[in-house]
Chain A
Amino acid sequence: DIQMTQSPSALSASVGDRVTITCRASQSINSFLHWYQQKPGKAPKLLIYAASSLQSGVPSRFSGSGSGTDFTLTISSLQPEDFATYYCQQSHSTLYSFGQGTKLEIK
Protein backbone atom coordinates (compact mmCIF):
# COMPACT_ATOMS: atom_id res chain seq x y z
CA ASP A 1 0.00 0.00 0.00
CA ILE A 2 1.11 3.55 -0.70
CA GLN A 3 1.45 5.75 2.38
CA MET A 4 0.92 9.50 2.10
CA THR A 5 2.52 11.83 4.64
CA GLN A 6 1.62 15.48 4.91
CA SER A 7 3.50 18.20 6.73
CA PRO A 8 2.85 20.09 8.79
CA SER A 9 -0.18 18.54 10.52
CA ALA A 10 -1.28 21.99 11.61
CA LEU A 11 -0.34 25.48 10.57
CA SER A 12 -1.18 28.93 11.88
CA ALA A 13 -1.09 31.81 9.41
CA SER A 14 -2.53 35.24 8.80
CA VAL A 15 -4.68 36.64 6.02
CA GLY A 16 -2.40 37.61 3.15
CA ASP A 17 0.33 35.08 4.03
CA ARG A 18 1.83 32.69 1.51
CA VAL A 19 1.44 29.11 2.73
CA THR A 20 2.93 25.85 1.53
CA ILE A 21 1.81 22.35 2.50
CA THR A 22 3.85 19.33 1.51
CA CYS A 23 2.86 15.75 0.76
CA ARG A 24 5.23 12.83 0.38
CA ALA A 25 4.39 9.42 -1.05
CA SER A 26 6.06 6.21 0.13
CA GLN A 27 6.84 5.35 -3.50
CA SER A 28 6.72 7.13 -6.82
CA ILE A 29 3.19 8.06 -7.89
CA ASN A 30 4.11 10.11 -10.98
CA SER A 31 1.47 12.86 -11.15
CA PHE A 32 -1.36 10.84 -9.60
CA LEU A 33 -1.66 13.31 -6.72
CA HIS A 34 -4.65 15.47 -5.85
CA TRP A 35 -5.51 18.05 -3.20
CA TYR A 36 -8.82 18.58 -1.38
CA GLN A 37 -10.11 21.24 0.97
CA GLN A 38 -12.54 20.41 3.76
CA LYS A 39 -14.36 22.86 6.00
CA PRO A 40 -16.00 21.77 9.27
CA GLY A 41 -19.19 19.82 8.74
CA LYS A 42 -18.80 19.83 4.97
CA ALA A 43 -17.72 17.33 2.34
CA PRO A 44 -14.23 17.65 0.87
CA LYS A 45 -13.86 19.70 -2.28
CA LEU A 46 -11.38 19.02 -5.08
CA LEU A 47 -8.85 21.84 -5.50
CA ILE A 48 -5.99 20.47 -7.59
CA TYR A 49 -5.82 17.30 -9.68
CA ALA A 50 -2.93 15.59 -11.41
CA ALA A 51 -0.49 17.45 -9.12
CA SER A 52 -0.84 20.87 -10.74
CA SER A 53 -4.16 21.27 -12.59
CA LEU A 54 -6.61 23.70 -11.01
CA GLN A 55 -10.17 22.40 -10.72
CA SER A 56 -12.76 24.58 -12.41
CA GLY A 57 -13.98 27.38 -10.15
CA VAL A 58 -11.04 27.20 -7.74
CA PRO A 59 -9.28 30.56 -7.23
CA SER A 60 -5.92 30.99 -8.91
CA ARG A 61 -4.20 31.70 -5.59
CA PHE A 62 -4.14 27.90 -5.18
CA SER A 63 -1.41 26.04 -7.01
CA GLY A 64 0.18 22.61 -6.91
CA SER A 65 3.50 21.21 -7.98
CA GLY A 66 5.64 18.11 -7.81
CA SER A 67 5.94 14.65 -9.27
CA GLY A 68 7.28 11.30 -8.19
CA THR A 69 7.19 11.31 -4.39
CA ASP A 70 7.22 14.96 -3.33
CA PHE A 71 4.41 17.44 -3.85
CA THR A 72 3.36 20.85 -2.61
CA LEU A 73 0.16 22.85 -2.35
CA THR A 74 0.68 26.61 -2.22
CA ILE A 75 -1.79 29.33 -1.36
CA SER A 76 -0.26 32.58 -2.56
CA SER A 77 -2.24 35.01 -0.41
CA LEU A 78 -4.47 33.53 2.27
CA GLN A 79 -8.07 34.66 2.36
CA PRO A 80 -10.43 34.22 5.33
CA GLU A 81 -12.34 31.47 3.52
CA ASP A 82 -9.15 29.39 3.07
CA PHE A 83 -8.92 28.38 6.72
CA ALA A 84 -9.77 24.71 6.51
CA THR A 85 -8.19 21.26 6.48
CA TYR A 86 -6.31 20.14 3.38
CA TYR A 87 -5.73 16.56 2.25
CA CYS A 88 -3.56 15.06 -0.43
CA GLN A 89 -4.60 11.80 -2.11
CA GLN A 90 -2.94 9.38 -4.50
CA SER A 91 -4.59 7.44 -7.30
CA HIS A 92 -1.49 5.65 -8.61
CA SER A 93 -2.49 2.48 -6.80
CA THR A 94 -5.88 0.82 -7.25
CA LEU A 95 -6.23 1.21 -3.48
CA TYR A 96 -6.39 4.95 -3.06
CA SER A 97 -5.01 6.64 0.05
CA PHE A 98 -5.06 10.05 1.69
CA GLY A 99 -2.60 12.03 3.71
CA GLN A 100 -3.51 12.61 7.35
CA GLY A 101 -4.52 16.21 6.68
CA THR A 102 -3.15 19.68 7.40
CA LYS A 103 -5.31 21.98 9.49
CA LEU A 104 -4.81 25.60 8.51
CA GLU A 105 -5.77 27.95 11.33
CA ILE A 106 -5.93 31.68 11.75
CA LYS A 107 -3.02 33.20 13.66
Chain B
Amino acid sequence: QVQLVESGGGVVPPGRSLRLSCAASEFTFSTYAMHWVRQAPGKGLEWVAVISDDGTNKYYADSVKGRFTISRDNSKNTLYVQMNSLRVEDTAVYYCVREGFTMVRGVEVWYLDLWGRGTLVTVSS
Protein backbone atom coordinates (compact mmCIF):
# COMPACT_ATOMS: atom_id res chain seq x y z
CA GLN B 1 0.00 0.00 0.00
CA VAL B 2 0.97 3.67 -0.12
CA GLN B 3 3.51 4.09 2.64
CA LEU B 4 6.76 5.53 3.90
CA VAL B 5 9.14 3.45 5.99
CA GLU B 6 12.02 5.06 7.84
CA SER B 7 15.18 3.27 8.93
CA GLY B 8 18.63 4.01 10.28
CA GLY B 9 17.83 5.28 13.75
CA GLY B 10 19.81 4.25 16.80
CA VAL B 11 22.02 5.43 19.64
CA VAL B 12 24.98 7.63 18.76
CA PRO B 13 27.42 9.67 20.89
CA PRO B 14 27.40 13.47 20.64
CA GLY B 15 29.47 14.78 17.75
CA ARG B 16 29.02 11.69 15.59
CA SER B 17 27.04 11.19 12.40
CA LEU B 18 24.03 9.15 11.33
CA ARG B 19 22.13 8.74 8.08
CA LEU B 20 18.42 8.04 8.01
CA SER B 21 16.60 6.56 5.03
CA CYS B 22 12.97 6.55 4.03
CA ALA B 23 11.61 4.08 1.48
CA ALA B 24 8.49 5.11 -0.42
CA SER B 25 6.00 2.62 -1.82
CA GLU B 26 3.02 2.60 -4.16
CA PHE B 27 3.09 6.22 -5.30
CA THR B 28 5.10 8.20 -7.82
CA PHE B 29 7.84 9.33 -5.44
CA SER B 30 9.60 11.50 -8.03
CA THR B 31 6.62 13.87 -8.30
CA TYR B 32 6.44 14.81 -4.62
CA ALA B 33 8.44 17.14 -2.42
CA MET B 34 9.49 15.38 0.78
CA HIS B 35 10.14 16.49 4.34
CA TRP B 36 11.71 15.37 7.58
CA VAL B 37 9.85 16.28 10.78
CA ARG B 38 11.07 15.33 14.25
CA GLN B 39 9.61 14.99 17.73
CA ALA B 40 11.71 14.99 20.87
CA PRO B 41 10.48 12.68 23.65
CA GLY B 42 7.34 14.14 25.20
CA LYS B 43 7.53 17.27 23.03
CA GLY B 44 5.79 18.71 20.00
CA LEU B 45 6.50 18.44 16.31
CA GLU B 46 9.46 20.29 14.79
CA TRP B 47 9.88 20.71 11.05
CA VAL B 48 13.45 19.84 10.00
CA ALA B 49 13.96 20.01 6.23
CA VAL B 50 12.36 19.79 2.79
CA ILE B 51 13.59 18.74 -0.64
CA SER B 52 11.84 19.44 -3.94
CA ASP B 53 10.61 16.64 -6.18
CA ASP B 54 13.68 16.76 -8.39
CA GLY B 55 16.13 17.37 -5.54
CA THR B 56 17.27 20.79 -6.70
CA ASN B 57 15.80 22.86 -3.87
CA LYS B 58 16.46 22.18 -0.19
CA TYR B 59 15.58 24.17 2.93
CA TYR B 60 16.43 23.59 6.56
CA ALA B 61 15.32 24.66 10.02
CA ASP B 62 17.82 26.96 11.70
CA SER B 63 18.39 24.31 14.39
CA VAL B 64 19.94 21.88 11.88
CA LYS B 65 21.25 24.12 9.12
CA GLY B 66 24.88 23.38 8.34
CA ARG B 67 24.76 20.01 10.13
CA PHE B 68 21.99 18.08 8.34
CA THR B 69 21.74 17.39 4.60
CA ILE B 70 18.55 16.16 2.97
CA SER B 71 18.80 14.24 -0.29
CA ARG B 72 16.86 11.78 -2.42
CA ASP B 73 17.35 9.08 -5.00
CA ASN B 74 14.30 8.99 -7.23
CA SER B 75 15.55 5.85 -8.99
CA LYS B 76 15.36 4.06 -5.64
CA ASN B 77 12.24 5.83 -4.30
CA THR B 78 14.25 6.78 -1.24
CA LEU B 79 14.67 9.91 0.87
CA TYR B 80 17.69 10.50 3.10
CA VAL B 81 18.94 12.80 5.79
CA GLN B 82 22.62 12.89 6.70
CA MET B 83 23.01 14.15 10.25
CA ASN B 84 26.45 15.34 11.29
CA SER B 85 27.80 16.85 14.52
CA LEU B 86 24.87 15.39 16.41
CA ARG B 87 23.84 16.99 19.68
CA VAL B 88 21.91 15.68 22.65
CA GLU B 89 19.06 17.98 21.63
CA ASP B 90 18.76 16.16 18.28
CA THR B 91 17.34 13.17 20.17
CA ALA B 92 13.91 12.58 18.65
CA VAL B 93 11.69 10.39 16.53
CA TYR B 94 12.32 11.41 12.93
CA TYR B 95 9.38 11.20 10.53
CA CYS B 96 9.57 11.10 6.76
CA VAL B 97 6.63 13.01 5.29
CA ARG B 98 5.19 13.49 1.81
CA GLU B 99 3.94 16.88 0.70
CA GLY B 100 0.60 17.05 -1.03
CA PHE B 101 -1.02 20.11 -2.52
CA THR B 102 -4.33 21.53 -3.57
CA MET B 103 -5.54 24.64 -5.38
CA VAL B 104 -7.35 27.27 -3.33
CA ARG B 105 -8.71 30.18 -5.36
CA GLY B 106 -6.03 29.61 -7.98
CA VAL B 107 -3.18 29.34 -5.46
CA GLU B 108 -1.25 26.15 -4.68
CA VAL B 109 -1.47 25.22 -1.00
CA TRP B 110 0.94 22.56 0.29
CA TYR B 111 0.45 20.27 3.29
CA LEU B 112 1.89 17.11 4.83
CA ASP B 113 -0.41 14.33 3.73
CA LEU B 114 1.46 11.06 4.29
CA TRP B 115 3.65 10.26 7.28
CA GLY B 116 5.94 7.35 8.02
CA ARG B 117 5.94 5.64 11.42
CA GLY B 118 9.20 7.29 12.40
CA THR B 119 12.63 6.15 13.55
CA LEU B 120 14.15 7.02 16.91
CA VAL B 121 17.52 8.74 17.10
CA THR B 122 19.11 8.95 20.53
CA VAL B 123 22.19 11.10 20.97
CA SER B 124 23.86 10.14 24.20
CA SER B 125 27.28 9.36 25.57
Q: Is A22 an interface residue (CB 8 A)?
A: no
Q: Considering the complex, which residues of chain B in the window 22-69 have a beta carbon less than 8 Å from any beta carbon of chain A?
A: 35, 44-47, 50, 59, 61-62
**Which residues of chain B are within 8 angstroms of A50 by Cβ–Cβ distance?**
102, 104, 109, 111
B109→A98 contact, CB < 8 A: no
A98→B116 contact, CB < 8 A: no
Q: Is B80 an interface residue (CB 8 A)?
A: no
User: How far in angstroms is the closest Cβ of chain A from B38?
Assistant: 11
B116→A43 contact, CB < 8 A: yes
Number of B interface residues at 8 Å Cβ cutoff, please give it. Answer: 23
Complex Cα–Cα for A34 and B62 (A) = 22
Q: Which residue on chain A has the smallest CB distance to residue B96? A: A43
Interface residues of B (CB under 8 A from A): 35, 44-47, 50, 59, 61-62, 95, 100, 102, 104, 107, 109-113, 115-118
User: How far in angstroms is the closest Cβ of chain A from B25?
Assistant: 15
Number of A interface residues at 8 Å Cβ cutoff, please give it. Answer: 27
Given A31-B104, A49-B102, A100-B44, the answer on whether A91 and B116 have CB atoms closer than 8 Å is no
Complex Cα–Cα for A89 and B113 (A) = 12
Complex Cα–Cα for A97 and B63 (A) = 12
**Which residues of chain A are within 8 angstroms of B45 by Cβ–Cβ distance?**
36, 38, 44, 87, 89, 98, 101
B109→A44 contact, CB < 8 A: no
